[in-house]
Structure 1
Amino acid sequence: MGKASMLVLILAVAVTGCKDGDSFWESFIPETDEEPTSTQIEGYVFYPAVQPATDANIAQLKVPAGFAVNKFTDGVGKPRILVVGDQGQVYASDREAGIVMMFTDNNNDGVADNKKTVATIKQVHGLSIHNGKMYMVAVKEVYVADMNPDGTLGQPRMLISDLPDGGQHPNRTIGFGPDNKMYLTVGSTCNSCPEPNGENATILRADEDGSNRKVFAKGLRNTIGFGWHPQTSELWGMDHGIDWLGDDEQKEEVNQIKQGADYGWPYIYGEGKYNPGDRPEGDTTYQQYLQKTTLPTLTYQAHSAPMSMAFYNGSGFPAEYQNDAFVAMRGSWNRSKPVGYKIVRMHFENGKPVRFEDFVTGFIVNNNRAHFGRLVGVAVHKDGSLLFSDDTNGVVYRVSYTGK
């Protein structure tokens, strides 16, 4: 479809009905199959054209006063998730190529001097360094490898081989919590549907060796970016909203992820709205499902596509950035005007997210008709800079604070 935009008119008809009653939920949410209910939604597909990451394009990127952006490395395929080793080595996954790359900046000038492939795993995506080992997750498998003193990896060993099929959301991510447990994100197989496999649309938790795997939280359509607040140790994640509900629905969700919680997908979304395309199964009504749904703490512009999230606890940025989070917004395809394509800062106050503000913008060019970066990975470097990846032009960017 490329540069063109296409208007798609969706008529979603669910054979449902309404009860008498005064409350909003009783009056407007269909609860039985006695009466038909119809919903008409205007949906769009619009992919901005792709431009190269030229010096001129990069020069017009906008960051807050005192910050600067440069290419840390480029020409590296389709870098996705980023992690940083203890000695400052930077690792990136490339799911399409099935490799993990290592970048080193030997002279500390903010530009990588050396690039090396350190693992080859089909469809590898999520990365996490824990207790001196590299953990890597593909669609259905989790691997671990010892880390050598020079940052290279030993032979990967498979810990898990039977994660659910990927479907629409095959990009698994992995992290280790303060409890030393392994956390795995498993997206939904579809835009909106009841899942036959109870491990889809969840975050899973397992022991360090991959054993004792259980569903930690469910009703999460596709939570790629997640992490633990440095002060409170509470787990936060950003979930992708449902597509085809219009330009401004469903908003992206910021959720505090708690054990045993249900975040509503596919039946309840956002601030407690019902999804007309899917009814709760059995005799459960929308209202009943709402009562057991954990609603988001904060929301963000629909279709921005939140990817990696990293809490800032480095020493390179001003003190007010401490314990805030940075999120890569990959960018929209399912709305009439593009949104996302940026790095945003999520402000936390008293351990809770309260608002967003732009941090790196300008990847949308040519009067909203083109872009030169769809962003994925975010990581804090050992020198206090912020790294983020673009898998469109094969670039890893670095944001540093100069104070000027």
Structure 2
Amino acid sequence: MGKMGITSASFLTTASVLFNVAATQSSVASASCSSTLTASHAAPSVADGYVARLVANNLTTPRGIKFDSQGVLLVVEQNSGITALTFKDDGQDCLSLATRRTVINDTSLNHGIEISANGTTLYASSPEAVYSWDYSPMNQTNTSAPQTLIANMTTSDHTTRTLLLSQHAPGLLVVTRGSTSNLDAEAEDLGTGHSQVKAFNLTNQTRPYDFSTDGLLLGWGLRNDVGVDEEPISGGIYTVENSVDDATRQGQDIHQNNPGEELNFLGYLNGTSSPNQGRNFGYPECFAAWNVSAIPDFSGTVGDQFAIGALNSSVNDTTCDAANRQAPRLTFEAHMAPLDILFNTAGTAAWVTFHGSWDRTDPVGYKLSVVEFADGEPVQASNSTTAAVDIVTNQDNSVCPDGCFRPVGLAWDSQGRLFFSSDATGEIYVVLRADGNATSTAGSNATGTIPSQSAGGTSGTSSSASPTSSSMASVGSTGALAVIFGILAFLL
């Protein structure tokens, strides 16, 4: 006898009806998103409150991505060119690939992409130069031959040149350039242009700029700052840096957990003064500590800079202190290889792709994370180890890099949905809020839009979610089942 005096027959009838309702809800949710794409590897694990869905595949090493003014996703396919993708939107955030066409056929293009504010100029980069084309967003075609804007950038190792058009200083194009080797001695010479981030004025430009000798210096001693974005409220320029491999200190191998990857603040382009702008950020002498206890004879904390190699009177930790080198604003776990950073329009969150690296026995990275911001800077202190909160991760990093997705480029669409590319798998994913709100609303943990943090910078809880139609189905069916079991518990 139950709490309400329900009979066995009545109980079974009620249960049958309720489970049929759940099945109907699940099938409706599944049918509403008809994509049949299957991920190349195991489906991502996704933090509570989020859904990740695969929306395009069979691309050739997709890197930088950007939406044009007509909502078309432009993708740099490394060593191939630029491709335009349009999506069919079936509602409830169910997207599927509708068309795919080549915009630029140029095998030298490898990463960077930008679009002018009016949508009619397309920018892209090769290891040597930055180019522009007249562009028709209505037809997704270039309407001119390429024009060389910036040249003399070739290096033999880090060859990507990320591009960013400033919103706070229209006409200025930010370009990042990495080192020519793991420890590039030439980066010590400001005149080489190695490991630097600069801004170039495109207004009334009459000749191609030389990266090494022209442009406004934002920072140097930046080993390989691939990701760059402008904080939308203050206009601050932030980059994410890939730090050195195979580090040693006083003859001891410390490379497993040091040095950390970096989030750097490079000042402003809007006229606001900052002591960071134009400073030396350390490379190739100084690096940010992550695992402090693993660094011999080091008395600093997380994020403080230390010297590597054989220390001497001219290269030591004093050389690397705040008076001589600019430390990062945040430090991330060693060898996660951040490749992009993208702010939401409210300036409450910066999303970061961690591509992952070969230079660690236990792989780390291979994920998409978010850093909470407020008042133009990260909420957490510079020595935090939990500032990056994981949203989309691989289920098993032990199979990486060969058996997992590797995030690279980031882009917002007009509805605040976040897209990222995975070069290793030739895929594009979209990241959605399970509650239907825009992904771009993330920020301020008081609202619950960023999962709780735990040691190491991972989200507190996560759930496995298929990147296909079953992702949204699981949300609907789980909720329905919760209601069912609640009712049955009450009846019993």
Q: What residue in structure 1 maps to residue 125 of structure 2?
A: 137
* Inter-partner Cα distance in structure 2 for 1:189 and 1:279: 23
- Shift in Å at residue 298 of structure 1? 0.8
Selected match of 1:198 from 185, 192, 196? 192
Aligned to 1:101: 83
Q: Please name the residue that 1:294 is paired with.
A: 326
> Shift of residue 162 of structure 1?
2.5
- Output the CA distance in 1 between the equivalents of 2:155 and 2:239: 20
RMSD between superposed Cα atoms in Å: 2.5
- Give the Å deviation of 1:142: 1.0
Report the AA paired with residue 221 of structure 1: R
- 2:54 aligned partner, one-letter code: K
Give how far 1:340 is off. 0.3
Letter in 1 for 2:103: V
Pick aligned residue for 1:217 from 219, 236, 250? 219
Residue by residue, what CA displacement relative to the aligned partner does 1:43-84 show, whole Å, maximum 9, x if unpaired? xxxxxxxxxx9459554x222333222111101111001111
2:100 matches 1:115 = yes
Shift of 1:187: 0.3
Q: Matched residues in 2 for 1:222 and 1:163: separation?
A: 17
Q: CA deviation at 1:87?
A: 1.5
Q: CA deviation at 1:365?
A: 5.3
Matched, 1:92 2:75: yes
Of 354, 361, 365, 1:340 maps to: 365
Q: How does 1:30-109 map to 2 (within 5 A)?
A: 54-55=38-39, 57-59=41-43, 61-97=44-80, 99-107=81-89, 109=94
Residues paired across the two proteins, number: 342
Q: Which residue of 2 aligns with 1:243?
A: 245
Q: Which amino acid aligns with 1:247?
A: Q
What is the 5 A alignment of 1:316-335? 323-335=348-360
- 2:102 maps to a residue whose letter is T
Q: Which amino acid aligns with 1:166?
A: T
Say which SS state the counterpart of residue 160 (structure 2) adopts: coil
1:350 pairs, out of 375, 385, 396, with: 375
User: Which residue in the other structure is 1:188 paired with?
Assistant: 179
Corresponding residue number in structure 2 for 1:35: none
Aligned: 1:150 with 2:132: no
Question: Using the alignment, how far apart are the partners of 1:204 and 1:75 within structure 2?
Answer: 34
**1:399: which partner in 2?**
431
1:387 is the counterpart of 2:419: yes
Asked if 1:252 corresponds to 2:261, the answer is: yes
AA paired with 2:231? H
Give the % identical residues. Answer: 24
In the alignment, which residue of structure 2 is the partner of 1:19? none
Higher strand share: 1
**Inter-partner Cα distance in structure 2 for 1:170 and 1:279:** 30
Question: Is contact 2:306-2:320 (8 Å) kept?
Answer: no
8 Å contact 1:192–1:277 — kept in the other structure? no
What does residue 174 of structure 1 align with?
163
Residue aligning to 1:265: 283
In the superposition, relative to structure 1, how do residues 71 and 288 fare at CA in structure 2: closer, same or farther (>3 Å)? closer
**Equivalent-residue separation in structure 1 for 2:145 and 2:388 (angstroms):** 38
Measured in 2, the distance between the counterparts of 1:102 and 1:278 equals: 50
Partners of 1:226 and 1:235 within 8 A in 2? yes
1:309-347 residue CA offsets vs partner (Å, 9 max, x unmatched): 111238xxxxxxx63011110012101100000000011
Question: How many angstroms apart in 1 are the aligned matches of 2:235 and 2:281?
Answer: 20
Cα 1:93–1:368, aligned 2, differ >3 Å: closer, same or farther?
Answer: closer
Give ranges in structure 2 of 5+ residues lacking alignment.
Answer: 1-36, 248-254, 268-276, 289-302, 381-386, 436-474, 476-492
What displacement does 1:348 show? 1.0
**Structure 1 residues 247 and 137, CA gap change in structure 2 (3 angstroms):** same
Determine the structure 2 residue equivalent to 1:7.
none
The TM-score with structure 2 as length reference comes to 0.65
Relative to structure 2, which stretch is displaced further, 369-378 or 71-80? 369-378
Distance apart, 1:384 and its partner CA: 1.5
Mapped contact 2:287–2:306 kept (Cα < 8 A):
yes
TM-score relative to the length of structure 1: 0.78
2:149 alignment partner, one of 149, 160, 165? 160
Q: CA deviation at 1:152?
A: 2.3
Question: Which string of whole-angstrom CA distances, capped at 9 and with x for unpartnered residues, describes residues 222-252 of structure 1?
Answer: 0111111111111111111111121111100
Work out the CA distance in 1 between the residues paired with 2:405 and 2:358.
13
User: SS of the residue aligned with 2:82?
Assistant: strand
Match of 1:127 in 2: 113
SS in 2 for 1:81: strand
Cα pair distance change 1:279/1:156, threshold 3 Å: farther
Q: Partner of 2:151: helix, strand, or coil? A: coil
Q: Deviations over 1:157-183 (max 9, x none)?
A: 223353322221001111111212111
Higher helix residue share = 2
Please tell me the residue identity of whatever aligns with 2:194: N
